[in-house]
Structure 1
Amino acid sequence: MLSGITVTHIAVCLVVLTLLVFAPFVGNAFVSLDDNYLIYANPAVQNFTWSNLVHVFTSYDPQLYIPLTFVSWQINALVFGMNAWAFHVVNLLLHCANVVLVLLILRRLSGSLFIAGFAAALFAIHPIQTEAVLWAASRKDLLSGLFFLLSTHAYLRYREHDWIRKWLLWSIVFFALGLLSKVSVITLPVWLLGIDWLQKRRIDRQMFLEKIPYVILAVIFGMIAVYGKSRVLGSSGSLVNVLLPAKSAVFYLQKFFYPVGLSVIYPYSGQASFLMEFALSIGIILALMVTALIFFRGKNRLITFGIATYFLLLTPSFTTFWKNGFLYFASDRYVYLASIGFFVIVALLLRCLYGILKPTGVHVLSCVIIVLLVPVSWAQSSVWSSTEALYRNVVLFYPDSVMAQTNLGLELQLTGNLKEARERYVRAMELDPHSVHAYFNLASLENKEGHPAEAERLYVAIVDAFGTDQVGTASDVRPFLWLIKRLNDLGRPADAERLFKKLETLAPAQLEEAVKKQNEIDAAN
């Protein structure tokens, strides 16, 4: 047994463990994936002014509504400047706070210090958490997670302290702050109902009435989120929308057990063999989960609660498979909170071994598991040391990723490795002849090397390859507006007009917004 050890002791150990794993990597640089346009190249973050504060509360990022996250970045930049280490340090501190909150919440829900401590330790240092902790742009996942957990903790205090209303009010306030950080915490009201069920609360009118403020907030922010992601929701086919959530849920489970081959990009191939390969495994694993739910339902509610938590907290990510013209089936940061459900199940099953291994043996085994995870997390953390390292890791495991090949080529071009950059662009174009990003980058390289005729040929190829998948937001339109002007300058008005008509037909709303913004920029200059 854990005699003499308190929650405070374990909390301190967990914070030290978390710092041991991730603190060596807070010196990592920014990466060009989202960090650029969200943070270090974003005027709204660089300058903390009243107008910029208003801007972040009245705009998207461009798809997510995350004003409070932007405010945290603004304060970061104001206090420490645009230094990457400072952004990483704040991320790490947020994660440490979340680890302690997970410990406190699970201690109340499970009644077991071992289950709470071991599950919180897995949450703290499992390699799949690396992306959320060490990616500066993933602040939104950590910050929204913090308020989600604070809201839950306040709700539990409300339940435990004679229904003192101030705790319920704080829970609602924290939920609102979480939604302002990232709307992915929208499932909190259902999670709280799950907690009521877990604690065998009597189902009555009061139980549902006190959830009304949560539901109202969820509906409001849900509508804001749908508006911002309206195109994303409709970018992939109905079959993909059904199959990818199941595949991603199974994929994360696989990575929990075997955290090797983690990547910032998990591209969806769309091949028939791909679907057939996972159909059987998805069916088997989901069947096992349903069996577990039925078998344990009357014996241990925590198992059922853990399974439901995993799927419930993962659900908001099922509308985010389509990004920047590419389709992905998973992202490690999306499972940041959902992992709590899985880790609870693992801890509970390990505790079931008390009768076989004795408590001391189980505690030793749990320590061995944690120790084995540390070097794996270190290795994954090193992947985030630079943009080049990040994309080389993607290409290592997913060599057919068009986005990874293109972005790696761009990073190599920026660092002067033009030969390999060209090879990466060519490879991306071979993988997808309609990948206009690779055409743009290769045309830039050709101009830099003094081959204007080849660059002009690539400009025309972009017009031929252009399709609706290349434009999701007004920001995506801007390169094409530049290209229209460039084609006119090169004496190719017919190609310029052809591209403009494609934009008018395939992305009229984005074109209108982009032209409006460009006119505002021109007027300001």
Structure 2
Amino acid sequence: MKKTKWLCCVCLIVVAFIAYYPILGNQLLDFWDDQWVVMNFYTDAGVSWQNLWSILTTYYHGQYAPFNEYLYLFLHEAFGYNAFYFHLASLLLHIANVLLVYLVFKKILALAVCKNESVNRYLPCMTAFVFLITTVNVESVAWMSASKILVYAFFYLLATLSLLRYIESGGSKKRYLGWTYLFFVSSFLGKEQAVTFPVFALLLYWFLGYDLKSKKVWVTLIPFFLLSLCFGYITMLSQLAVGGGALSSEATYPLWQRLIYGCYTFCEYFFKCLFPVKLSYLYPFPSVVGEDLPGWLYFYPVFIVLFIFFFWKYVWKDKMLMFGLSLFAIHIAVTLHIIPLSRFAVVADRYAYLSSIGVAFLLVYILLIYYEKISRKWGVALKVIFVSYLFYLGIYTNLRSRVWFDTDTLKQEMRELLRSRDDFKEEEH
């Protein structure tokens, strides 16, 4: 068993370097946020107690991610602004997250006592593999300014693993609960998206068969919810510092429009995780505040209602499907613009990083279940389709890593996209 685990880990590491090696030659993007997110006076100030404290206690450009700034600080202290080492750190963080996904799902299935042998054997490694090469995650790995996603995810997954070990001990090993608190706080200090952890922890208890009315469950989780509320308030204060966010008087979309945008972004993130096509570094809002929404946006609430109507009973009956879909929904919820955010893009690939694990889980689980039910002939066809899909993801991820070489290559992609749209409009007329 240990041999299989090590073989899977080695395979994941090798594939990660094959898929992402182009980023090791990429530059820091001087005109796409790296010039102030990475290369700033905190990083230049060097390692000192005064600078470490200043980073921890200051909002910077409407953001609060001190642990991510510490990453830049220590890399700069050791290597200067050598882009190779910065990108190597991002790649190593992504690999660490992939391995943690593998370990987390092995532990979850062990605690859930899953009786399906093929699911137990293949789902953890295959889910980690799909997560590894999912192309929508390239932005998080290849763009240095997005490294806060990797930092928060690393501590978030460590918090998940330590919570699972606490649950495994029956609540007797309090040190695991202490580690969970520490990793949760560290995750938030990486990025504000960590506020979803208590809801995810509740999902874990449900999946593992605990009664959610149990006092024991809530005694464990209420402190996490209280911390999450504090973290959410800190996040809103950080955005208010630059005149944006939910606490500001900044003009925003009315609630009904935000709900429609929420349906749109939910669908967009899900399908970008599953079928990444024509990804971009920028997805502007299709309308500005005060304007009518484009008619095509109204399709998305209808689509979600139809999905719930036709498929919800199948999802609800299958605990694994419910878990995977909920995993996706919980981690994407804070990015859907239902709560006003100081963002100029309606969708950003990097925000789907942890959510893409839920999509990978769903895909692998459905394939494993169908593979058991179909004939050998169709099973071979299913294997060919899935392997082809993995090759597509791997190749697209490798190619997309090259797009982030420098600002010119990044913006060239946008120019080509706009040119192709203009050509299409001219053909229509």
Please confirm whether the aligned pair reaches a TM-score higher than 0.5, indicating the same fold: yes
- In structure 1, the partner of 2:427 is none
CA deviation vs aligned residue, 1:226-246 (integer Å, no higher than 9, x gap): 111232334421144222222
- In structure 1, the partner of 2:424 is none
Select the structure of larger CA radius of gyration.
1
The answer on 1:329 being equivalent to 2:328 is no
Counterparts in 2 of 1:353 and 1:4: CA distance versus 1, 3 Å: farther
Matches within 5 A, 1:139-218: 139-163=147-171, 164-203=173-212, 204-218=214-228
Residue 195 of structure 1: how far off its partner (Å) = 0.7
Distance (whole Å) between structure 2 residues aligned to residue 201 and residue 183 of structure 1: 28
Name the SS of the counterpart of 1:232 in structure 2. coil
CA deviation vs aligned residue, 1:343-365 (integer Å, no higher than 9, x gap): 11111111112221557765555
The answer on 1:345 being equivalent to 2:345 is no
Distance (whole Å) between structure 2 residues aligned to residue 182 and residue 125 of structure 1: 22
Residue 289 of structure 1: how far off its partner (Å) = 4.5
- In structure 1, the partner of 2:128 is 120
Residue 338 of structure 1: how far off its partner (Å) = 0.8
Matches within 5 A, 1:241-320: 241-270=258-287, 275-289=294-308, 291-298=310-317, 300-319=318-337
Residue 276 of structure 1: how far off its partner (Å) = 1.6
Distance (whole Å) between structure 1 residues aligned to residue 267 and residue 362 of structure 2: 15
The answer on 1:16 being equivalent to 2:14 is yes
Distance (whole Å) between structure 2 residues aligned to residue 317 and residue 348 of structure 1: 26
Query: Does the 8 Å CA contact 2:63/2:239 hold for their aligned counterparts?
Result: yes
User: Which residue identity is paired with 1:382?
Assistant: R
Query: Does the 8 Å CA contact 2:260/2:301 hold for their aligned counterparts?
Result: no
Distance (whole Å) between structure 1 residues aligned to residue 3 and residue 293 of structure 2: 49
Distance (whole Å) between structure 2 residues aligned to residue 322 and residue 74 of structure 1: 27
Distance (whole Å) between structure 1 residues aligned to residue 24 and residue 340 of structure 2: 29
Distance (whole Å) between structure 1 residues aligned to residue 215 and residue 70 of structure 2: 38
CA deviation vs aligned residue, 1:279-325 (integer Å, no higher than 9, x gap): 22442245314643332323x211111111111101122348865xx
Distance (whole Å) between structure 2 residues aligned to residue 255 and residue 224 of structure 1: 30
Counterparts in 2 of 1:154 and 1:20: CA distance versus 1, 3 Å: same
Distance (whole Å) between structure 2 residues aligned to residue 269 and residue 296 of structure 1: 32
- In structure 1, the partner of 2:400 is 380
TM-score between both structures, scaled by the size of structure 1: 0.71
Distance (whole Å) between structure 2 residues aligned to residue 274 and residue 241 of structure 1: 10
Residue 5 of structure 1: how far off its partner (Å) = 6.9
Counterparts in 2 of 1:235 and 1:124: CA distance versus 1, 3 Å: farther
User: Which residue identity is paired with 1:296?
Assistant: V
- In structure 2, the partner of 1:38 is 37
Name the SS of the counterpart of 2:25 in structure 1. coil
Name the SS of the counterpart of 1:269 in structure 2. coil
Structure 2 regions of 5+ residues with no counterpart? Answer: 115-119, 422-429
How big is the alpha-carbon RMSD for the aligned residues of Structure 1 and Structure 2? 2.4
Out of 242, 246, 253, the residue aligned to residue 237 of structure 1 is 253
Distance (whole Å) between structure 2 residues aligned to residue 290 and residue 28 of structure 1: 47
Distance (whole Å) between structure 1 residues aligned to residue 403 and residue 305 of structure 2: 32
Distance (whole Å) between structure 1 residues aligned to residue 420 and residue 293 of structure 2: 14
TM-score between both structures, scaled by the size of structure 2: 0.86
Distance (whole Å) between structure 1 residues aligned to residue 186 and residue 124 of structure 2: 26
The answer on 1:367 being equivalent to 2:365 is no
Query: Does the 8 Å CA contact 1:179/1:186 hold for their aligned counterparts?
Result: yes
Query: Does the 8 Å CA contact 2:22/2:402 hold for their aligned counterparts?
Result: no
- In structure 2, the partner of 1:450 is none
Distance (whole Å) between structure 2 residues aligned to residue 80 and residue 357 of structure 1: 56
Distance (whole Å) between structure 1 residues aligned to residue 417 and residue 272 of structure 2: 14
CA deviation vs aligned residue, 1:158-212 (integer Å, no higher than 9, x gap): 1113421111111111001001111111010110110111111133101000012
Name the SS of the counterpart of 1:82 in structure 2. coil
Distance (whole Å) between structure 2 residues aligned to residue 282 and residue 12 of structure 1: 43
Matches within 5 A, 1:95-110: 95-110=94-109
Name the SS of the counterpart of 1:26 in structure 2. helix
Name the SS of the counterpart of 1:29 in structure 2. coil
Distance (whole Å) between structure 1 residues aligned to residue 283 and residue 375 of structure 2: 39
Distance (whole Å) between structure 1 residues aligned to residue 340 and residue 211 of structure 2: 39
User: Which residue identity is paired with 1:109?
Assistant: I
User: Which residue identity is paired with 1:380?
Assistant: R
The answer on 1:221 being equivalent to 2:221 is no
Residue 278 of structure 1: how far off its partner (Å) = 2.9
Counterparts in 2 of 1:166 and 1:357: CA distance versus 1, 3 Å: farther
Counterparts in 2 of 1:177 and 1:278: CA distance versus 1, 3 Å: same
